[in-house]
Structure 1
Amino acid sequence: MSLSQAQQRAVRRTGQDVCVVAGPGSGKTLVLVERFAWLVEQGTSPLRILAITFTEKAAFEIKRRLVERFASDPDARRQIERAYVSTLHAFCLRLLKENALAAGLDPRFELLDEREQTAELNRALRQSLDELYARRPRELRDLLESWRREKPEQDILAAFEALRLSGKPIANWRDENPPEGAFQKLIAAVREMRGASPPPTTEAQARRLAELDSWLRSAPEGPVTRRHFDFLKDFACNKKGLKEGHPIHDRLDDIRGPKMDDARAELVAAYYAPQRETLIRAVERFDEIYRNNKREAARLDFSDLEEQAIALLRSNAELRRTTQENFEAVLMDELQDTNPLQWELMDLVRRPGRFFAVGDINQSIFGFRHAEPGVFERFRERVARQGEVDCLSENYRSRAEVLGAVDRVCEGMAGIASNPLEARRRFTRSGAAVEVVGATAETVPDAERIEARWIARRIRDLHAQIAIEDRNLGPRPARFRDFAVLVRNSASVGPLEPALAEFGVPYLLARGKTFFEEPEVTDLVAVLRAIENPLDEIAFAAVARSPLFGLSDEALLRFKLDHKDPEEFAELRALLDEVRPWKDELPPDRLLGRVLDERGYEDSLQPAARANIDKLLALLRDWHASRPSALREWLDQLEGLRAEHEEPSAPANDSPDAVSVMTIHAAKGLEFPVVFLAAMHKGVDARKSSLLYRPGRGLGMRWRDPFKDQGIPDAIHLTNSLEVSDKERCEADRLLYVAMTRAEERLLLSFSYKREEHPKAWPEQVLAGLGLDFQEITISEAPDAPELEQAETERSTAEAEPVARPEVSRYEATASVTAIAQFAECPRRYYLERYLGLEALRPRFHEEEEIPEDRTAGELSASELGTMVHEILAGTFAGAPAPEARDLASRFDASELGRRAAGAVRIEREWDFVHAVEDIVLRGQIDLWFEEEDGRTVLIDYKTDRDESRIGHYALQLRLYAAAIEKMTGRSPSEAWLFFLRSGRAAPVQVQDATAWVARFKEAQDRQSFPLETGAHCRACPFFRGRCPAVL
């Protein structure tokens, strides 16, 4: 695709930092890709360009386009495949991995995923509160009583997250001083009002003045007590008997409103100062526990990546200089979604005049993730002062009539910066491009049902009537996948599902963050609960009524009345009894797999439900692999995540032809020929957390009124709440803008309202901008559903048209090279040790006399020695190594291979890799590989074994390592060697394709076939003469 003049100017601009304001549909990704390509064409190595995106999907898309762009240049393509095109977190991870010791981190640190982080945060917070209760129970009770929050954990965690992203320590909360003097200002204002009042001329006036005099005389002094709140409560002055122009009449609203609120906020902060200090101490202890737990486990969370990377670059001037010099150019996508901490990191990485950023403040809609649009605005202003800002206003997506509607509706909105869009894509005119409908009825729910049915009917009509102007194919008949229904939040979807089903409209529903509430997930969690506890009648009844068994309410009632199992329960009891003995032996996903296979539960489910089951099984599998635990612990963790963690439902497999139903946030970055923006009357929850932290203002709290069971915000909370409300209103403007600009050809806007009560916000803004009134667009009757053919009726009841899909796979989605090698040597050992996660019934060595003769007390074990030697050779070992480990490492350095490695032009040690083979994500760590001046690549794997007879076993590992190097670099190693450190012997390994073993590995798991392979290796197996029946 050729570039427009504006795009070309942005791509080729030099001599300054570049700020590209890229409106929707303006080719933002194209410009970023072309900037990268242009830099390469100008002689910049792809390996010296850092491109930062905010999602892995975006990074993949950018790299894919670049690889296509340089398809005819193999060298450039290979470098691009290794280039730094990644998310900000991935860049931080790479930086910290490469400089772990300088950052004070364990080089083997791993990342907590979002679910693990939520679980660890909750665990640390509970421990902190438990400790406080054990040591100072009165203080904790006082805090909870004054706070009046049944479950304060969620508010604490939200404030803690906001504080971390600001880069400030918790101790700063103590230094924050709220505004003072509001109480005295209130008294002064009342005194001034009283003094300005003329002598009374009526009895009512006399009473007002007497009330004021009495109130002023009773003003308390000294430290804040309950008497101060009594004093404010006793202010009873009103306007009765007073006319406009009288000082009391004219000033009373201000006194009873803002001034009284400010005074109350000041008093409540002083009154509850001890409780605030208790909270700060508890959060400091929580932070300490959380950090210690992560340190001991060598784990980091995503915020740590940013914090640690910033701290490393701040404190290490040499590394900061080297990092900046390594990158000739830094490119950043979606700058409007950056927070201040991320911006600080980019400031430390980039050089002046080498930064290229793309963004659009009008599309900043992720405030709930702490994105700060002001970051982009300040960068734009700075570039404007020093050079030129590139504005891309040409829109290559939408019909001119759609863009005209966007401009008219959004013009003048507080959250929208002026950037009129110019339509550059040409369409054949066909019908109205923009439609607006308001559904009304006696109640809002009835109106919402009318609106939903109108949407379903309109989709069917347009699907049958219009042609879509495909960019590649030209005009073609409309498909259901050309349509999208966007909503502000997932709670608005309810009326749409039955309406779409009734009208025979297939759809895919992105439900949002409700994974743990999905019926299929709650069904399977109930199965685990029933397995764990045979006395849990609630779980048993849930399983019985679920589609797993489908028992009737009558059967359950008989069970409740007779306390005897009806015949229908026998099968359920039998299955639970069969799997229960294995509940602490098998991982929980295997327990569920047994039940699913037995009952055929998934056969009748739709794609979205099946995807959720796959996701639950994968979650349980990953958790168990990282930290094997009893089933009871997994159930507790699931309950904690359900209560505290918003988890998105799994995406279903794509349907060949279905309407997309999703939130506006999920639609960001997407486009559809026909867009319905539904339920515009739905707002967001305006309630504010009881804890509100804002950088520069501090932590505000809403406390309990000492006299009433209601909340009073302190001064900081009051200010923060106003600021947050302003930001939310501006973001709501941008959310409407993003929703409307997703449409290519047609935009249909709808809302519902109770008769005679016109809705505000978006409906009002849309109607005003388009010059419409309610009478013109109102409907009050639901359209009739068409009579559908049987096949169409069956299809419409699904969230998407059912597609052929295999049974849920029971194979591991990821596997290490070591696991594949172990499987190749003995599938049965792999099955017992890695697949089922079982421990040996006997130790490897039973008694002290069976310990090998050359191992004495205090010596390193073989595993410990091997780890130390590898760390010495990788240059990551800290401290004084054991003499034996030092000697073994020196044998490689002194060998011919060691000398060749020392002279290599590129060398990689402890090289981690991940790549896909046969639908398995293969991961591993290569001890050493290097490139020599002549281009030869050499692969080496160290072994500390005394037994050198297992070359065949290790050869498979090297061949899989070789495949990974070829995948990542484009070239297969020229040589592969096993280096036995004890003898100093190097054994060559022929490099050949070994991926067939990955296929066999996957097939064995699908078939659940793990045959026993007996041989000499059995004697070293921990399951020999235990769980394994092998006989030698």
Structure 2
Amino acid sequence: MPDPAAAPPVIRHGADAVADALGRPRPTAQQRAVIESPLVPALVVAGAGSGKTETMASRVVWLLANGLVRPDEVLGLTFTRKAAGELSVRINDRIRALEDVGLITPGDAFEAPTVSTYNAFANAVFRENALLVGRDGESQVLTEPSAWQLARRVVVAARDDRLAGLDRDVDTLTAAVVALAGATSEHLVEPEDLRRFAVEFSGLLELPGNRGKPYKAITDAVAAIGALDPLADLVAEFRRQKIDRGFVEFSDQIALALAAAESAPRVVTDLRQRYRVVLLDEYQDTSVVQTRFLARLFRGHSVMAVGDPHQSIYGFRGASAANLARFPHDFGGDEADAARPVTFALSTSWRNPVDVLAGANAVVAPLSEASEVDVERLSPRPGADAGAVRVVFPETLPEEADEVAAWFQDHRRRDASTSMALLLRARKDLAAFTAALGARGVPYHVLGTGGLLQRPEIVDLVACLRVLHDPAAGNDLIRLLAGARWRVGAADIVALHRLASWLFQRDHTHQRLDDDLTAAFRASVAAGEHGSIVDALDFVATAPDEHGALEAVTPAGRARMRELGAQLALLRSRAGGDLVDFVTLVVQEMRLDIEVAAHEQGSGAYLDAFVDELAGFVATDDRADLGSFLGWIDAAARRDDMGPRSEEPEAGTVQILTIHGSKGLEWDAVAVPRMVEGGLPARPQEGSSGWLGFGRLPYEFRGDAAELPRLAWRGQETQKEVTTAIDAFKEQVKARNEDEERRLTYVALTRARHDLLVSGSFWAGGVRPTEPSRYLRDLVDAGVIDGAAIPETTVHDENPMGESGATQSWPHVPFGQRAPRVLAAAERVRNANPGAAGRFAADIDLLLAERAATRNAKHAVAVPHRVPASGFKDYLTEPDSVAERLRRPMPERPYRATRLGTLFHQWVEQRARSGGALETLDVWDGELDLDADDRVDASADAVVTDDDARRLADFQATFARSRWAGRTPVEVEREIHIPFLGHSVVCKLDAVYEIDGRAEVVDWKTGKAPSGAEDLARRTLQLALYRVAYAEFTGRPLAEVDAVFYFVADDLEVRPAELLDRAGLERAWSAAVGS
């Protein structure tokens, strides 16, 4: 920034002159003030559609034309890659135009301005200065899927009894860990801070209660906050594993970049010298840590922040509208003579017509009055037309959806090139609107992962995947049973449920359990888990017809259940292979690809998109499995719904997305449905509890705590006083939620370039009608819509659609209204003369016979591509058990002794890496090739006890006396993948020593020594693989490689007399498994 005492720069070209030279319209007075602003901190409050991108580009052009900066001294930051791309293109086009008219000298291509997203800029600063904060600049950035998988592994591996008391499933805990870890990074909070807070908050139970009993509000709050204690441990472990594995998340990058800037003044100096002018777009969406980072770098610098407090709709991810009000404080210079920050306004809407703008202003008026930043009322552009704002408010949701569809149909009929959007507050009513659009033949496109998951074919696919993965997925199985393909009646589904309860009370031989054992079993599972209809279906598929337990199932229902059960059994037998290939197989076996192709508007695009999502998930981690993907996809859909979209409008097609996703976009015609109380404004899923909920960061830890509702819980003398404070806090939260809903509505309304439809209806689901939204009343009061179009009340005393909101026939009728035509066509095909069999008939018969043989084969399972060496022997010696595990994978119980073996392996590895100097155990996480031989104890207790520690010490002492103790291995924990008959065998070699010119592969064993020759021969297969792997990996002859077991518990060295070579191993595999 120029010295304040220096002479002011000479301005040769005004903003009007530059615009004239470039042949562009002259800026307005407001735009001119922004463009010609001096090089001091400046805040621009820019309303929706007010031309902020054009104004920012024009400011850069004006600065360049007057020689105030070079192009490469300009930094522009925004949130999305789409916005960054648009700003970059606009600026660079203007620069080329300046060069063409001679206002600036053509420069080097490397002297272009830097336009980036906030995260990308922070990432660059972090990577340049990573060593300053003790991190690797080449750290891999965790994508959302990979972060989810790592957090899920942390949750699954946790051995914390407190987690069971939280009564949350793995996916819920994973989501909480990911969210809380992100929040702690965003607000620079340590897990230990959360632990201390939880302990302090639990002290509320010690206050005097209600006649000796605690108030429910207190016990609920303490239980919710108490969860922070174990969750903080999970977050700490998640952080540790990220560091150990060299990972960072986006939130980590910003926090680490801030740490680098705070620790080394040269980081700040270098960036200030590199970028003399900084533009911050969508500033209202910056988080606390982003603001702190940017202020650290550019306080008192030439920073221009552009934002709109009324469009701050991403508060759930840390954004704060208060950032705009704090701008003068955050970016004002510290020096006494520093220039004071200035504020500008852009209040002319270049997008919206008069009536649309009047409605938006009416909705947001209460926020403007209460805003800490002066926000001018948006005014229409000169010559703007009135536009068309219409309201419909029929009795029922289906009627509302049909009227919305008819409105879009009319627009499309008048102009097929019209861009159109349906903006939803939430996706719960999506099906009603897509059905109405489809019935009227209006093309539509549901944007985002959330929309993808609500496609009928994807819902069926996910239901099938859940049934294959989880025996408790009863609801998903009912969807399949009652669907158009299987059409199992309600009575048979009830009978299946009773059968599940019958099986729950019996052992594996179907003998009834005694009452005490049944009661204990019930107490050991969660509520509602008293019988699995998935297991019951498996029973139906295999039990003989005369079995008494099947009496209540009709013959037709039994036949259909058996067909579905057989299909699921087939699919489970293929579950061990590549995940993408497996899901593709499920699509084919369920005939979903055929079903969508047969639909009048059918397309396989959504199935392809789902498989693409899966492929992207798998690509982030080669240990990804079906369970982790199913957990992630739901969480990803929720996040995707809440983020901005980047798709361009599609002419003649209604794009359907959430209001959160619509920010930054615009369309000719926009419909905003479900404007009812509870719809828009919505009732937050977490209610009005604020931070008094599971896994939420208490507000006092947030950087914007001063602007958030405050709970005065400290210093109270009784629980009643705390309860009163909680009630007051919840009222503040409700008021804040109302403000957020108003901002959302404002964003939705201002997406319309010409026509706007707002709608609602009295009856959807439930027994009570919904009331028209308060925002509709605002529009009526502003004279934008006719109040007479909104009935005062419903004409029905009860829900005309029934309590569920809809009446449907069961079983589902395939093809709907098209059924008669489709059935007639099928009958004509069946009755047609097939004529000649065709030249492919013999090939088809052979292929069908091969498929039938494969399906009926006893061991017809797909062997996974990756086979661990520790499991190789099982394929050869226990093929039936392996086949059963592959058909229906089950979770493995944890073994305490496996943990002991792991710790010993890790100690030996660390000892080797430290040159043999390490004599104490230092625990860390690693990936070891352990097998059942290392499980010397089957205790479910995975905690390392004092007894465990003594045994580990014994192992260490024994090893110290062995002949390997004084040697240094040439390899330790070396992982080698060898190609093997179309598979990849994964070998993890514990250690390799060079002894007398020969390589010796050593496999440490903490379990029992072989019990006989047969046991030794079985274990020797793994050692033979290690020997072959090392020989091929190093290229040395197999004859020069030895292999030996060392059973450390018995101080016993076992050197097999004979080890198979590759050819022998391949023959043994082929004989047992096939080629």
Give TM-score scaled by structure 2 length: 0.55
| 1:355 alignment counterpart | 303
CA contact (8 A) 1:52 1:86 kept: yes
| 1:588 alignment counterpart | 579
Partner Cα distance (1:277, 1:579) in 2: 43
| 1:419 alignment counterpart | 376
CA contact (8 A) 1:672 1:744 kept: yes
| CA RMSD in angstroms, aligned pairs only | 5.3
CA contact (8 A) 1:84 1:91 kept: no
Partner Cα distance (2:308, 2:249) in 1: 29
Matched, 1:311 2:311: no
CA contact (8 A) 1:700 1:713 kept: no
- Cα 1:526–1:490 change in 2 (3 A) is closer
In the TM superposition, what is the alpha-carbon distance from 1:483 to its structure 2 partner? Answer: 2.9
Q: 2:753 aligns with which of 744, 754, 762?
A: 744
| 1:800 alignment counterpart | none
In the TM superposition, what is the alpha-carbon distance from 1:2 to its structure 2 partner? Answer: 2.8
Aligned residues between the structures: 698
CA contact (8 A) 1:50 1:327 kept: yes
Q: 1:328 aligns with which of 276, 288, 294?
A: 276
- Cα 1:317–1:752 change in 2 (3 A) is same
Partner Cα distance (2:555, 2:578) in 1: 33
Partner Cα distance (2:186, 2:637) in 1: 19
Spell out the pairing of 1:621-660 with structure 2 (5 A cutoff): 621-629=615-623, 633-639=625-631, 641-642=633-634, 646-648=638-640, 656-660=651-655
| 2:118 alignment counterpart | 88
| 1:404 alignment counterpart | 358
Matched, 1:36 2:60: yes
- Cα 1:363–1:529 change in 2 (3 A) is closer
| 1:113 alignment counterpart | 143
Q: Residues 844-863 of structure 1, C-alpha deviation per residue, up to 9 Å, x if partnerless?
A: xxxxxxxxxxxx97457999
- Cα 1:674–1:581 change in 2 (3 A) is closer
Spell out the pairing of 1:472-621 with structure 2 (5 A cutoff): 478-479=415-416, 481-510=418-447, 513=450, 516=453, 518-528=455-465, 550-553=485-488, 561=553, 583-584=575-576, 586-596=577-587, 599=591, 600-601=593-594, 602-604=596-598, 610-621=604-615
In the TM superposition, what is the alpha-carbon distance from 1:337 to its structure 2 partner? Answer: 0.9
Matched, 1:284 2:195: no
Equivalent residue letter for 1:104: G
Unaligned runs of 5+ in 2: 1-23, 101-105, 333-338, 494-539, 542-549, 714-718, 797-816, 819-862, 871-966, 976-1032, 1036-1061, 1071-1075
SS of the aligned residue for 2:657 comes to strand
| RCO comparison, higher one (Cα < 8 Å, 6+) | 1
In the TM superposition, what is the alpha-carbon distance from 1:18 to its structure 2 partner? Answer: 2.3
CA contact (8 A) 2:355 2:784 kept: no
Q: Residues 172-193 of structure 1, C-alpha deviation per residue, up to 9 Å, x if partnerless?
A: 457779999xxxxxxxxxxxxx
Partner Cα distance (1:298, 1:149) in 2: 25
In the TM superposition, what is the alpha-carbon distance from 1:363 to its structure 2 partner? Answer: 1.5
Partner Cα distance (2:416, 2:84) in 1: 29
CA contact (8 A) 1:607 1:653 kept: no
Report the more deviating stretch, 597-606 or 500-509: 597-606
Q: 1:671 aligns with which of 666, 673, 687?
A: 666
Q: 1:455 aligns with which of 382, 404, 407?
A: 404
- Cα 1:151–1:3 change in 2 (3 A) is same
CA contact (8 A) 1:587 1:624 kept: no
| 1:79 alignment counterpart | 110
Unaligned runs of 5+ in 1: 135-139, 181-221, 234-263, 465-476, 704-709, 783-792, 795-835, 844-855, 865-944, 948-1018, 1028-1032
SS of the aligned residue for 1:51 comes to strand
Partner Cα distance (2:780, 2:349) in 1: 24
Partner Cα distance (1:426, 1:34) in 2: 23
SS of the aligned residue for 1:746 comes to strand
- Cα 1:946–1:583 change in 2 (3 A) is closer
Matched, 1:294 2:242: yes
Partner Cα distance (1:223, 1:493) in 2: 44
CA contact (8 A) 1:701 1:717 kept: yes
SS of the aligned residue for 2:232 comes to helix
Q: 1:684 aligns with which of 677, 682, 685?
A: 682
| 1:104 alignment counterpart | 134
Partner Cα distance (1:538, 1:658) in 2: 34
Partner Cα distance (1:684, 1:177) in 2: 30
Spell out the pairing of 1:7-156 with structure 2 (5 A cutoff): 7-41=31-65, 42=67, 44-70=69-95, 78-79=109-110, 84-125=114-155, 130-133=159-162, 141=165
CA contact (8 A) 1:361 1:377 kept: no
Q: Residues 388-426 of structure 1, C-alpha deviation per residue, up to 9 Å, x if partnerless?
A: 422111222222333234334543445665412232253
- Cα 1:648–1:563 change in 2 (3 A) is farther
Partner Cα distance (1:679, 1:673) in 2: 20
Equivalent residue letter for 2:210: F
Q: 1:364 aligns with which of 294, 299, 312?
A: 312
In the TM superposition, what is the alpha-carbon distance from 1:740 to its structure 2 partner? Answer: 2.1
Partner Cα distance (1:314, 1:608) in 2: 56
Partner Cα distance (1:339, 1:608) in 2: 42
Equivalent residue letter for 1:635: G
- Cα 1:699–1:859 change in 2 (3 A) is farther
In the TM superposition, what is the alpha-carbon distance from 1:80 to its structure 2 partner? Answer: 6.7
Equivalent residue letter for 2:757: L
| 1:972 alignment counterpart | none
In the TM superposition, what is the alpha-carbon distance from 1:347 to its structure 2 partner? Answer: 1.0
Equivalent residue letter for 1:680: M
| 1:169 alignment counterpart | 190
In the TM superposition, what is the alpha-carbon distance from 1:70 to its structure 2 partner? Answer: 4.3
- Cα 1:772–1:122 change in 2 (3 A) is same
CA contact (8 A) 1:677 1:740 kept: yes
In the TM superposition, what is the alpha-carbon distance from 1:644 to its structure 2 partner? Answer: 8.8
Equivalent residue letter for 1:421: L
SS of the aligned residue for 1:738 comes to helix
Equivalent residue letter for 1:739: A
Spell out the pairing of 1:148-297 with structure 2 (5 A cutoff): 161-173=182-194, 228-230=209-211, 268=218, 279-297=227-245
CA contact (8 A) 2:363 2:745 kept: no
SS of the aligned residue for 2:131 comes to coil
SS of the aligned residue for 2:236 comes to helix
- Cα 1:720–1:286 change in 2 (3 A) is farther
SS of the aligned residue for 2:782 comes to helix
- Cα 1:525–1:775 change in 2 (3 A) is closer
In the TM superposition, what is the alpha-carbon distance from 1:68 to its structure 2 partner? Answer: 3.5
Partner Cα distance (1:291, 1:451) in 2: 49
- Cα 1:716–1:610 change in 2 (3 A) is farther
In the TM superposition, what is the alpha-carbon distance from 1:303 to its structure 2 partner? Answer: 1.5
| 1:962 alignment counterpart | none
Partner Cα distance (1:562, 1:498) in 2: 33
SS of the aligned residue for 2:756 comes to strand
Equivalent residue letter for 1:553: V
Equivalent residue letter for 1:131: D
- Cα 1:31–1:634 change in 2 (3 A) is same
SS of the aligned residue for 1:9 comes to helix
Q: 1:759 aligns with which of 761, 772, 793?
A: 772
Q: Percent identity?
A: 22
| 2:782 alignment counterpart | 769
SS of the aligned residue for 2:760 comes to strand
| 2:1000 alignment counterpart | none
Partner Cα distance (1:616, 1:503) in 2: 27
In the TM superposition, what is the alpha-carbon distance from 1:311 to its structure 2 partner? Answer: 1.1
